[in-house]
Amino acid sequence: MSRAWPGMFGPGVPQSEGSMMERIGFVGLGTMGSAMAANLLRAGAHVTVWNRTPARASTVVEMGAQTASSPADVAARSDVTVICVSDTPDVESVLFGLDGIAGGAPSGSLVIDCSTISPDSTRDFGRRLAERGVGMVDAPVSGGSEGARLGTLTMFVGGGEGDVARAQPVLEAMGRTITHLGPLGSGQAAKAVNQVIISGAYLGVAEGIVLGMKAGLDPHRLVEALSGGAAQGWVLANRSGRMIDDEYPLGFRLGLHRKDLGIALEMAGQTGVMLPVAMLAAALEDRLLSTGHGDEDMSVLARAIRDLSEPVPAPAAADDGAGEGPTDSVEPGRGPV
Protein backbone atom coordinates (compact mmCIF):
# COMPACT_ATOMS: atom_id res chain seq x y z
CA MET A 1 0.00 0.00 0.00
CA SER A 2 1.29 3.46 -0.86
CA ARG A 3 2.02 5.68 2.10
CA ALA A 4 0.70 9.24 1.97
CA TRP A 5 2.80 12.02 3.46
CA PRO A 6 0.40 14.90 4.13
CA GLY A 7 1.98 18.22 4.99
CA MET A 8 5.18 17.30 3.20
CA PHE A 9 5.14 20.02 0.61
CA GLY A 10 7.21 23.16 0.84
CA PRO A 11 5.74 26.53 -0.10
CA GLY A 12 4.91 26.69 -3.77
CA VAL A 13 5.98 23.10 -4.47
CA PRO A 14 3.39 21.34 -6.64
CA GLN A 15 2.25 17.81 -6.00
CA SER A 16 2.82 15.17 -8.64
CA GLU A 17 -0.44 14.50 -10.47
CA GLY A 18 -2.43 11.85 -8.64
CA SER A 19 0.01 11.75 -5.71
CA MET A 20 0.02 13.15 -2.19
CA MET A 21 3.81 12.89 -2.03
CA GLU A 22 6.64 14.99 -3.28
CA ARG A 23 8.69 13.59 -6.11
CA ILE A 24 11.91 12.09 -4.76
CA GLY A 25 15.24 11.92 -6.58
CA PHE A 26 18.03 9.61 -5.49
CA VAL A 27 21.68 9.95 -6.53
CA GLY A 28 24.09 7.17 -5.54
CA LEU A 29 22.96 3.53 -5.61
CA GLY A 30 25.73 1.67 -3.83
CA THR A 31 25.11 -0.93 -1.14
CA MET A 32 23.45 1.63 1.13
CA GLY A 33 21.80 3.87 -1.43
CA SER A 34 20.14 1.09 -3.38
CA ALA A 35 18.48 -0.30 -0.25
CA MET A 36 17.43 3.17 0.91
CA ALA A 37 15.89 4.01 -2.48
CA ALA A 38 14.07 0.67 -2.42
CA ASN A 39 12.49 1.58 0.91
CA LEU A 40 11.30 4.91 -0.53
CA LEU A 41 9.61 2.96 -3.31
CA ARG A 42 8.03 0.59 -0.80
CA ALA A 43 6.67 3.65 1.01
CA GLY A 44 4.86 4.63 -2.18
CA ALA A 45 7.13 7.45 -3.34
CA HIS A 46 7.66 8.42 -6.95
CA VAL A 47 11.45 7.98 -7.26
CA THR A 48 13.85 9.01 -10.03
CA VAL A 49 17.40 7.67 -9.76
CA TRP A 50 20.88 8.14 -11.16
CA ASN A 51 24.08 6.21 -10.49
CA ARG A 52 27.53 6.60 -11.97
CA THR A 53 27.40 2.88 -12.91
CA PRO A 54 23.96 2.59 -14.54
CA ALA A 55 23.70 -1.19 -14.03
CA ARG A 56 23.48 -0.63 -10.26
CA ALA A 57 20.04 0.92 -10.80
CA SER A 58 18.48 -2.29 -12.14
CA THR A 59 17.02 -3.49 -8.82
CA VAL A 60 15.16 -0.27 -8.03
CA VAL A 61 14.10 0.18 -11.67
CA GLU A 62 12.45 -3.24 -11.48
CA MET A 63 10.60 -1.93 -8.39
CA GLY A 64 9.28 1.06 -10.33
CA ALA A 65 11.94 3.76 -10.16
CA GLN A 66 12.53 5.98 -13.17
CA THR A 67 16.07 6.57 -14.45
CA ALA A 68 17.60 9.94 -15.28
CA SER A 69 20.51 10.84 -17.53
CA SER A 70 22.44 12.86 -14.93
CA PRO A 71 22.19 14.28 -11.39
CA ALA A 72 20.89 17.51 -12.93
CA ASP A 73 18.15 15.54 -14.67
CA VAL A 74 17.23 13.85 -11.38
CA ALA A 75 16.94 17.22 -9.63
CA ALA A 76 14.92 18.77 -12.46
CA ARG A 77 12.36 15.95 -12.10
CA SER A 78 12.26 15.95 -8.29
CA ASP A 79 11.09 18.12 -5.41
CA VAL A 80 13.49 16.48 -2.93
CA THR A 81 16.80 14.93 -4.02
CA VAL A 82 18.62 12.48 -1.76
CA ILE A 83 22.38 11.93 -2.13
CA CYS A 84 24.22 8.85 -0.85
CA VAL A 85 27.81 8.71 -2.14
CA SER A 86 31.18 7.94 -0.60
CA ASP A 87 33.14 11.09 0.22
CA THR A 88 33.26 14.88 0.24
CA PRO A 89 34.65 15.21 -3.33
CA ASP A 90 31.91 12.88 -4.60
CA VAL A 91 29.19 15.01 -3.01
CA GLU A 92 30.70 18.18 -4.46
CA SER A 93 30.87 16.54 -7.89
CA VAL A 94 27.24 15.41 -7.97
CA LEU A 95 26.10 18.77 -6.61
CA PHE A 96 28.21 21.27 -8.55
CA GLY A 97 30.09 19.33 -11.23
CA LEU A 98 29.14 18.97 -14.87
CA ASP A 99 25.41 18.16 -15.04
CA GLY A 100 25.26 18.40 -11.25
CA ILE A 101 22.19 18.69 -9.05
CA ALA A 102 22.61 22.45 -8.59
CA GLY A 103 22.26 22.93 -12.33
CA GLY A 104 18.88 21.22 -12.45
CA ALA A 105 17.29 21.80 -9.06
CA PRO A 106 14.42 24.31 -9.21
CA SER A 107 14.19 27.08 -6.66
CA GLY A 108 12.22 25.84 -3.65
CA SER A 109 13.50 22.28 -3.90
CA LEU A 110 15.43 20.45 -1.19
CA VAL A 111 18.62 18.35 -1.08
CA ILE A 112 19.10 15.69 1.61
CA ASP A 113 22.69 14.44 1.86
CA CYS A 114 22.96 11.03 3.53
CA SER A 115 26.66 10.69 2.74
CA THR A 116 29.26 10.97 5.50
CA ILE A 117 31.43 13.99 4.73
CA SER A 118 33.15 16.97 6.35
CA PRO A 119 30.87 19.25 8.41
CA ASP A 120 32.70 22.31 7.07
CA SER A 121 32.13 21.21 3.48
CA THR A 122 28.47 20.51 4.24
CA ARG A 123 27.99 24.07 5.46
CA ASP A 124 29.77 25.42 2.38
CA PHE A 125 27.61 23.32 0.05
CA GLY A 126 24.49 24.53 1.86
CA ARG A 127 25.49 28.16 1.36
CA ARG A 128 26.09 27.59 -2.34
CA LEU A 129 22.74 25.87 -2.78
CA ALA A 130 20.94 28.59 -0.82
CA GLU A 131 22.21 31.14 -3.34
CA ARG A 132 20.13 29.21 -5.91
CA GLY A 133 17.05 29.03 -3.66
CA VAL A 134 17.63 25.35 -2.82
CA GLY A 135 17.50 24.07 0.76
CA MET A 136 19.79 21.44 2.25
CA VAL A 137 19.68 18.94 5.11
CA ASP A 138 22.56 16.70 6.16
CA ALA A 139 21.45 13.27 7.38
CA PRO A 140 24.36 10.81 7.51
CA VAL A 141 23.35 7.34 8.61
CA SER A 142 24.49 4.51 10.85
CA GLY A 143 23.36 0.91 10.87
CA GLY A 144 25.23 -0.66 7.98
CA SER A 145 23.81 -2.55 5.06
CA GLU A 146 21.44 -4.43 7.37
CA GLY A 147 19.88 -1.21 8.62
CA ALA A 148 19.60 0.18 5.10
CA ARG A 149 17.83 -2.95 3.91
CA LEU A 150 15.46 -3.16 6.88
CA GLY A 151 14.74 0.58 7.06
CA THR A 152 16.09 0.77 10.62
CA LEU A 153 18.94 3.23 10.08
CA THR A 154 19.92 5.82 12.65
CA MET A 155 19.99 9.24 10.98
CA PHE A 156 21.90 12.22 12.37
CA VAL A 157 20.18 15.32 11.04
CA GLY A 158 21.33 18.91 10.62
CA GLY A 159 19.55 21.83 9.00
CA GLY A 160 17.01 24.58 9.46
CA GLU A 161 13.74 23.73 11.19
CA GLY A 162 11.62 24.12 8.06
CA ASP A 163 13.93 22.07 5.85
CA VAL A 164 14.18 19.30 8.44
CA ALA A 165 10.39 19.18 8.88
CA ARG A 166 10.01 18.85 5.13
CA ALA A 167 12.67 16.10 5.01
CA GLN A 168 11.17 14.14 7.90
CA PRO A 169 8.76 11.90 5.93
CA VAL A 170 11.53 11.00 3.50
CA LEU A 171 13.89 10.14 6.34
CA GLU A 172 11.20 8.11 8.10
CA ALA A 173 10.86 5.90 5.02
CA MET A 174 14.55 5.00 5.29
CA GLY A 175 15.37 5.05 9.00
CA ARG A 176 14.03 4.45 12.49
CA THR A 177 15.94 6.73 14.87
CA ILE A 178 15.94 10.24 13.41
CA THR A 179 17.36 13.05 15.52
CA HIS A 180 17.62 16.74 14.59
CA LEU A 181 20.84 17.89 16.25
CA GLY A 182 21.10 21.52 15.14
CA PRO A 183 21.93 23.65 12.10
CA LEU A 184 23.41 22.38 8.86
CA GLY A 185 26.59 20.36 9.50
CA SER A 186 25.43 19.13 12.91
CA GLY A 187 24.47 15.75 11.49
CA GLN A 188 27.95 15.27 10.08
CA ALA A 189 29.54 16.26 13.39
CA ALA A 190 27.36 13.74 15.24
CA LYS A 191 28.25 11.03 12.72
CA ALA A 192 31.94 11.73 13.39
CA VAL A 193 31.28 11.16 17.09
CA ASN A 194 29.51 7.91 16.24
CA GLN A 195 32.50 6.69 14.25
CA VAL A 196 34.86 7.49 17.12
CA ILE A 197 32.71 5.51 19.55
CA ILE A 198 32.37 2.45 17.33
CA SER A 199 36.15 2.44 16.85
CA GLY A 200 36.45 1.67 20.54
CA ALA A 201 33.62 -0.85 20.43
CA TYR A 202 35.10 -2.83 17.53
CA LEU A 203 38.60 -2.70 18.97
CA GLY A 204 37.43 -3.78 22.41
CA VAL A 205 35.50 -6.77 21.08
CA ALA A 206 38.37 -7.74 18.75
CA GLU A 207 40.92 -7.63 21.56
CA GLY A 208 38.64 -9.55 23.93
CA ILE A 209 37.85 -12.30 21.41
CA VAL A 210 41.51 -12.82 20.48
CA LEU A 211 42.57 -12.78 24.16
CA GLY A 212 39.89 -15.32 25.06
CA MET A 213 40.86 -17.65 22.24
CA LYS A 214 44.55 -17.37 23.21
CA ALA A 215 43.58 -18.25 26.78
CA GLY A 216 41.92 -21.46 25.52
CA LEU A 217 38.33 -20.38 26.11
CA ASP A 218 35.51 -21.57 23.87
CA PRO A 219 34.81 -18.28 22.07
CA HIS A 220 31.14 -19.04 21.44
CA ARG A 221 30.49 -19.74 25.13
CA LEU A 222 32.56 -16.68 25.99
CA VAL A 223 30.34 -14.47 23.84
CA GLU A 224 27.26 -16.00 25.46
CA ALA A 225 28.62 -15.17 28.88
CA LEU A 226 29.70 -11.66 27.95
CA SER A 227 26.30 -10.94 26.45
CA GLY A 228 24.70 -11.15 29.87
CA GLY A 229 26.89 -8.48 31.44
CA ALA A 230 28.22 -4.98 30.93
CA ALA A 231 30.16 -6.01 27.79
CA GLN A 232 26.96 -6.65 25.87
CA GLY A 233 26.40 -4.51 22.77
CA TRP A 234 25.69 -4.46 19.05
CA VAL A 235 29.25 -5.25 17.97
CA LEU A 236 29.54 -8.22 20.33
CA ALA A 237 26.15 -9.56 19.23
CA ASN A 238 26.53 -9.01 15.50
CA ARG A 239 30.25 -9.09 14.69
CA SER A 240 31.94 -11.40 17.21
CA GLY A 241 31.15 -14.44 15.06
CA ARG A 242 33.08 -12.95 12.17
CA MET A 243 36.02 -12.25 14.45
CA ILE A 244 35.97 -15.84 15.76
CA ASP A 245 35.84 -17.29 12.24
CA ASP A 246 38.34 -14.74 10.88
CA GLU A 247 35.98 -14.12 7.95
CA TYR A 248 34.66 -10.62 7.25
CA PRO A 249 31.87 -10.41 4.66
CA LEU A 250 30.79 -6.90 3.83
CA GLY A 251 28.60 -5.00 6.26
CA PHE A 252 30.39 -1.64 6.49
CA ARG A 253 33.61 -1.29 4.54
CA LEU A 254 36.78 -0.73 6.52
CA GLY A 255 37.95 1.79 3.92
CA LEU A 256 34.87 3.93 4.48
CA HIS A 257 35.28 3.85 8.25
CA ARG A 258 38.89 4.97 7.87
CA LYS A 259 37.66 7.87 5.75
CA ASP A 260 35.15 8.74 8.46
CA LEU A 261 37.83 8.58 11.15
CA GLY A 262 39.83 11.08 9.12
CA ILE A 263 36.90 13.49 9.36
CA ALA A 264 36.62 12.89 13.11
CA LEU A 265 40.34 13.37 13.70
CA GLU A 266 40.28 16.60 11.69
CA MET A 267 37.35 17.81 13.80
CA ALA A 268 39.26 16.82 16.96
CA GLY A 269 42.22 18.87 15.81
CA GLN A 270 39.99 21.89 15.22
CA THR A 271 38.44 21.60 18.67
CA GLY A 272 41.59 20.69 20.61
CA VAL A 273 40.43 17.20 21.62
CA MET A 274 42.80 14.22 21.93
CA LEU A 275 41.36 10.92 20.64
CA PRO A 276 43.88 8.18 21.50
CA VAL A 277 41.56 5.23 20.79
CA ALA A 278 40.48 6.66 17.44
CA MET A 279 44.12 7.34 16.56
CA LEU A 280 45.02 3.73 17.36
CA ALA A 281 42.10 2.46 15.30
CA ALA A 282 43.19 4.65 12.39
CA ALA A 283 46.73 3.25 12.57
CA LEU A 284 45.46 -0.34 12.62
CA GLU A 285 43.08 0.38 9.75
CA ASP A 286 45.93 1.90 7.74
CA ARG A 287 47.86 -1.35 8.27
CA LEU A 288 44.90 -3.38 7.02
CA LEU A 289 44.35 -1.08 4.04
CA SER A 290 47.98 -1.51 3.03
CA THR A 291 47.48 -5.29 2.89
CA GLY A 292 44.31 -5.19 0.80
CA HIS A 293 41.50 -5.45 3.37
CA GLY A 294 39.76 -2.13 2.69
CA ASP A 295 36.68 -3.72 1.11
CA GLU A 296 36.03 -6.11 4.01
CA ASP A 297 33.74 -5.37 6.94
CA MET A 298 35.38 -3.21 9.60
CA SER A 299 35.26 -6.15 12.03
CA VAL A 300 38.43 -7.14 10.16
CA LEU A 301 40.11 -5.07 12.88
CA ALA A 302 40.27 -8.42 14.67
CA ARG A 303 42.68 -9.61 12.00
CA ALA A 304 45.02 -6.76 12.89
CA ILE A 305 44.93 -7.92 16.52
CA ARG A 306 45.61 -11.49 15.38
CA ASP A 307 48.50 -10.31 13.22
CA LEU A 308 50.06 -8.47 16.17
CA SER A 309 49.63 -11.49 18.45
CA GLU A 310 51.02 -15.01 18.59
CA PRO A 311 49.10 -17.56 16.47
CA VAL A 312 45.53 -17.90 17.70
CA PRO A 313 44.16 -21.41 18.40
CA ALA A 314 41.36 -22.67 16.22
CA PRO A 315 37.97 -22.27 17.97
CA ALA A 316 36.42 -25.43 19.36
CA ALA A 317 33.12 -26.53 17.86
CA ALA A 318 30.29 -24.61 19.49
CA ASP A 319 28.64 -27.75 20.88
CA ASP A 320 31.56 -29.86 22.10
CA GLY A 321 32.71 -27.69 25.01
CA ALA A 322 36.28 -28.76 24.36
CA GLY A 323 38.36 -25.58 24.13
CA GLU A 324 41.35 -27.89 23.45
CA GLY A 325 43.59 -25.38 21.67
CA PRO A 326 44.90 -25.43 18.09
CA THR A 327 44.07 -28.32 15.82
CA ASP A 328 44.81 -26.76 12.42
CA SER A 329 48.05 -25.61 10.87
CA VAL A 330 48.85 -21.96 11.53
CA GLU A 331 50.81 -19.35 9.68
CA PRO A 332 53.06 -17.14 11.82
CA GLY A 333 51.33 -13.88 12.69
CA ARG A 334 47.91 -15.18 11.63
CA GLY A 335 45.20 -17.44 12.92
CA PRO A 336 44.33 -20.90 11.57
CA VAL A 337 44.70 -21.34 7.80
Q: Single out the catalytic residue among 123, 191, 253, 293.
A: 191
Quick one: how far is CA 61 from the chain centroid? 23
CATH superfamily of 23-183: NAD(P)-binding Rossmann-like Domain (3.40.50.720)
In the chain, ranges of CATH 1.10.1040.10 domains:
190-307
Q: How far apart are CA 49 and CA 39, in angstroms?
A: 13
Q: The pTM is what?
A: 0.84
Which range (11-15, 119-123, 214-218) has the least confidence?
A: 11-15
330 pLDDT band, cuts 50/70/90, is very low
* Radius of gyration over every alpha carbon of the chain, rounded to an integer in angstroms: 22
Question: For residue 120, is pLDDT > 60?
Answer: yes
6 pLDDT band, cuts 50/70/90, is very low
User: H-helix or E-strand containing 183?
Assistant: none
CATH 3.30.70.60 assigned to 190-307: no
Q: How far apart are CA 183 and CA 119, in angstroms?
A: 11
Which residues contact residue 331 at a Cβ distance below 8 angstroms, ignoring those fewer than 6 apart?
311, 337
pLDDT score, position 16: 39
pLDDT score, position 7: 40
Pick the closest to residue 195 from 70, 282, 108, 81 (CA basis). 282
Length of the chain equals: 337
- Give the DSSP letter of residue 330: B
191 tagged catalytic: yes
Predicted confidence (pLDDT) per residue in 65-92, tens digit? 999 999 999 999 999 999 999 999 999 9
Decide: 96 and 120 in contact? Cβ < 8 Å.
no
Question: Phi, psi at residue 94, to the nearest 5°?
Answer: -75, -20
Q: How would you label 135-155 residue by residue, b for 16+ Cβ within 10 Å and e otherwise?
A: bbbbbbbbbbbebbbebebbb
Q: How far apart are CA 56 and CA 30, in angstroms?
A: 7
For 70, the 3-state DSSP assignment is: coil
The mean pLDDT of 116-136, rounded to a whole number, is 98
Q: Which long-range contacts (CB under 8 A, 24 or more apart) does 60-65 make?
A: 60/26, 60/29, 60/34, 63/38, 65/26, 65/37, 65/41
Predicted confidence (pLDDT) per residue in 203-243, tens digit? 999 999 999 999 999 999 999 999 999 999 999 999 999 99
Residue type, 292: G
Which residues contact residue 42 at a Cβ distance below 8 angstroms, ignoring those fewer than 6 apart?
63, 151, 173
Give the Cα-Cα-Cα angle 229, 234, 236 (nearest 5 degrees): 60
DSSP 198-264: HHHHHHHHHHHHHHHHHTT--HHHHHHHHTTSTT-SHHHHHHHHHHHHT---SSSBHHHHHHHHHHH
User: H-helix or E-strand containing 158?
Assistant: strand 153-158
Q: How far apart are CA 180 and CA 154, in angstroms?
A: 11
In the chain, ranges of CATH 3.40.50.720 domains:
23-183
For 142, the 3-state DSSP assignment is: strand
For 297, the 3-state DSSP assignment is: strand
